[in-house]
């Protein structure tokens, strides 16, 4: 399944956002197998971080010059935030760039396979909690609310996912929605 996902991601054309007024950043969409099911990992941010206080997000952060690439940014940030060893992370591909509407970031998401079991070491200044969600749970239509909002004069669809009292919204939900669309297609292809 993960090799097929890697193949599909490598064949798609990523949509880039170029906007020098926004801050480049990268997040990881970490996938792993636990007890025969595929899971996706999120973090809940602390109330003490500068941006996105208390929100559910993917691990990642802001590009720094020494990173040289956004891929390096996401690997560095995941190590700093949750202790995920760079050498154990297999990048499978990229999703489209997204912007945050509550702050001024461009987010480049990377999909990766990570090991399980794994002893995460969350940075208590940034991460309140590491959250494990079965992919099947967020594929359940009962956990998704769709709406619309106007951003920069354009009406866009919004997504909000609910899982065991946690609410995933904003750019993280948009990234998750795109990932789930690709995941669903890969599942269908694998079953055929």
pLDDT in tens, 58-80: 999 999 999 999 999 999 999 99
What predicted TM-score, i.e. pTM, was given to this entire model? Answer: 0.93
Q: Which residues of the chain have pLDDT under 70?
A: 49-54, 192
pLDDT (0 to 100) of residue 51: 62
**CATH fold for domain 2-191:** Nucleoside Triphosphate Pyrophosphohydrolase (3.90.79)
Residue ranges per structural domain of the chain? 2-191
pLDDT (0 to 100) of residue 54: 65
Number of neighbouring beta carbons within 10 Å of residue 156: 12
């Amino acid at each position: 399944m993960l090799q097929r996902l890697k193949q599909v991601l490598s064949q798609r054309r990523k949509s880039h956002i170029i906007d020098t007024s926004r801050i480049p950043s990268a997040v990881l969409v970490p996938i792993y197998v636990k007890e025969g099911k595929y899971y996706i990992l999120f973090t809940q941010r602390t109330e003490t971080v500068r941006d996105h206080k208390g929100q559910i997000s993917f691990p990642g952060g802001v590009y720094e010059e020494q990173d040289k690439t956004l891929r390096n940014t996401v690997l560095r940030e995941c190590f700093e935030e949750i202790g995920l060893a760079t050498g154990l992370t297999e990048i499978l591909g990229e999703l489209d760039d997204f912007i945050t509407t509550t702050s001024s970031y461009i987010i480049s998401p990377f999909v990766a396979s990570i090991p399980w079991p794994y002893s995460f070491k969350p940075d208590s200044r940034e991460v309140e909690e590491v959250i494990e969600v079965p992919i099947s749970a967020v594929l359940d239509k009962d956990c998704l609310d769709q709406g619309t909002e106007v951003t920069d004069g354009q009406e866009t669809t919004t997504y909000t996912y609910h899982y065991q009292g946690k609410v995933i919204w904003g750019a993280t939900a948009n990234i998750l929605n795109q990932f789930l669309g690709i995941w669903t297609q890969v599942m269908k292809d694998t079953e055929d």
